[in-house]
Structure 1
Amino acid sequence: MTGEFRVRTVLGDVAPETLEVCDSHDHLFFASQLLAGQELDDAAAAEAELRAFANAGGRAVVQWTPFGLNRRAADLVGLSRATGVQLVAATGFHRAEHYRTDVLDRVADRLAELFVADLLDGIPAGDDPDADRTGPRAGLIKVAGAFHTIDRHARWTMVAAAQAHHETGAPIAVHLELGTAAREVADLLCGELAVPPARVILGHLNRNPDPRVLREVAGTGVFLGFDGPSRANHATDWRLADLLLELSTAGHTAQLLLGGDTTTAAARLSSGGGPGIPYLLTTLRPRLARALGEDVVEAMLVANPARAFATRWRR
């Protein structure tokens, strides 16, 4: 790679240290093509969430919403300017059950090409891969594994993600279905597909809270995302501090990331639900600081995201 490390935000490339306090995994907009209900599609509510996050000390949010799931990339630009919160947009592809067959067929033979175009040229209007690329450039590639395995669809998307990484330098973020198949994903991306571990972020690890597995995955060198609490994974929230303490004590503090992963309108504080994006800082941060120490929490929210999402971009 050449050049200096930069984080690609919707307002342009920035020095990693300017991210400051970062929510490493969240969603301002999200709508599955096939799994209807509680879509995130309200720009005013997204702005309210971001303002509340900023008032709590937040300075950056990484949105993991990939291609075809209502990214609303143009709105991200306006939201970042209005709130002062730096936003990172995603390219990538989610699990097959989120997409209509015609969409899968349309991109089947050009997935890596689509990722590269989003990263280097900009996200197309209306998320149409053949439309003018008038939106901001994506700053990461988001793909997804299957439950306890890497199925055909997951492998297809991960191979494309690795190809796009090698062409652009972009980090790869992975949705692990219920936190499973973490080691299998790390082995595929960092082994067979030769993606450096420092460019891989595994998400949802708190949904499969097995300390032995987590220590083994941490040994690969990838970043470890603990991205609750959303309503989908509240049953494991009580184990979060113990898991993070064990990993930190084992020497993996520099690999740990925190996010909110707000996936439904009912999980937004601004819509009268919760816990919402601000919860990460208003409630979870002080709770974890008491259990782990402020220095560990500061690393998870500031120093680690600055390294995880920065790369030497090839253009």
Structure 2
Amino acid sequence: MSFIRTFFEDINPQKLGFTYSHEHIVCVPAYWKERNADDLLLDDKEKSQKDVEDFAINGGKTIVDATAIDYGRKVEEVAEISRATGIKIIGTAGFNKSFLWSGKIKPELKPMIGNYETYYEWIEETPINQLTDFVVREVEEGLEGTNYKAGQVKFGTGYNMITPLEEKTIRAVARAHHETKAPIHSHTEVGTMALEQIEILKQENVSLEYLSIGHMDRNLDPYYHKKVAETGAFLSFDGIGKIKYAPESARIKSILELVKAGHEDQILVSGDTARKSYYKHYGYGLGLEYIIKKWVPRFVDEANKQGFDGEKLIQKFFVDNPMRCFTFKK
């Protein structure tokens, strides 16, 4: 049977429901903590939980927590939020982009990954096959020694570049995907290097229908989006609400351009809400309710006015497409 792996159980994909495909719920990244970047520390479980409750109240069912080990996961706290709110959580194994790896590793993780001081040291000195084995364990046994298993594997790359160590993690994650059948998510910095990531995954014989590529709305280039979509990958428009990068009109236009080109089955939408100032109950921001409560009605209105079926597209972006994207391959 096809399944999606959540924190508490493997579920039938039909049970996924309305899904945010890229968020962060509770996390304290070592890199940002060491630099006293308080806005980037989601360190209050109760406040995070209130935002998740807002999502649930408005009809949300599932959140993909895209927090990898090098971004300061708080696995037990996220599990408690899932239990308290009824929101299903899909966890993430794998790695982020390399500039974050200078952060110091939590002492409690060292028995699992070795006595390294930083994530950079660990990734640099560990053979690919051992990194692969670590990712596999997080999918098949549990995140950071817990019983909560990852439902996707992740890698990341920097702005307009892929470093040798980032390529190493891409290959490790690709091999973990083959072993576990878990779907793959990629971080792109400002929406760059997606096609280059794809070339490496092709070398690792990855079928791109199991890949979702993040931050595509940080690079609002319709030609580029179509080239990525033609590979079969999912495109994640996960910066909704971040007007400092682009107005919502530009995001909606780019999404509808992909729909016009026949790629409506490859679009995911989320908020990547990874700052206190983005959260309603930390910093009076838009919060996790924004997309489902305010953005969705606007999108439906704009899509309908342009001759599309807005409600049908919302069903695809938040239910049908995540249902396929996060299913473990057969």
Q: 2-side partners of 1:135 and 1:29: how far apart?
A: 18
- The alignment partner of 1:282 has SS state of helix
Aligned mate of 1:165, from 153, 160, 177: 177
**1:310 paired residue number:** 327
Residue 227 (structure 1) shift: 0.2
Q: Which amino acid aligns with 1:184?
A: E
Alignment partner of 1:23 is 2:34:
no
**For residue 9 of structure 1, what is the aligned residue in structure 2?**
6
Contact 1:74 1:135 in 2 (8 A): no
Query: Contact 1:268/1:274 (CA < 8 Å) preserved in 2?
Result: yes
Work out whether residues 260 and 276 of structure 1, in 8 Å CA contact, stay in contact via their aligned partners in 2: no
Match among 22, 43, 46 for residue 44 of structure 1:
46
User: For 1:55 and 1:30, how far apart are their aligned partners in 2?
Assistant: 23
* Cα deviations by residue, 1:21-69 (Å, 9 ceiling, x for unpaired): 0000100023322234120111101110110001111100001000132
2:98 alignment partner in structure 1:
96
Instruction: Report matched runs for 1:54-203 at 5 Å.
Output: 54-100=56-102, 102-107=118-123, 108-109=126-127, 110-124=130-144, 133-189=145-201, 191-203=202-214
Q: Which residue of 2 aligns with 1:262?
A: 273
RMSD: 1.6
Runs of 5+ unmatched residues, structure 2: 103-116, 304-309
Q: TM-score, normalised by structure 2?
A: 0.87
- Give distance in 1, aligned partners of 2:255 and 2:118: 42
CA contact (8 A) 2:280 2:287 kept: yes
Contact 1:73 1:135 in 2 (8 A): no
Cα distance, 1:105 vs structure 2:
2.1
How do 1:254-293 residues align onto structure 2 when only pairs under 5 Å count?
Answer: 254-292=265-303, 293=310
Query: Which of 176, 201, 209 is 2:220 aligned to?
Result: 209
Corresponding letter in the other structure for 1:137: K
Give 1:135 shift: 3.3
Which residue does the alignment assign to 1:130?
Answer: none
**CA 1:93–1:161 in 2, change beyond 3 Å: closer, same or farther?**
same
Aligned to 2:318, what secondary structure does the other structure show? helix
1:296 is aligned, of 297, 301, 313, to 313
Query: Take 1:272 and 1:134, find their aligned partners in 2: how far apart are those partners?
Result: 30
The aligned amino acid for 1:173 is H
Aligned in 2, Cα 1:260/1:186: closer, same or farther, shift over 3 Å? same
Deviates more, 1:32-41 or 1:111-120: 32-41
Per the alignment, residue 246 of structure 2 pairs with 235
**Range 57-66 or range 133-142, more displaced:** 133-142
**Aligned mates of 1:230, 1:50 — CA distance in 2:** 17
Which letter does structure 1 place at the counterpart of 2:120? L
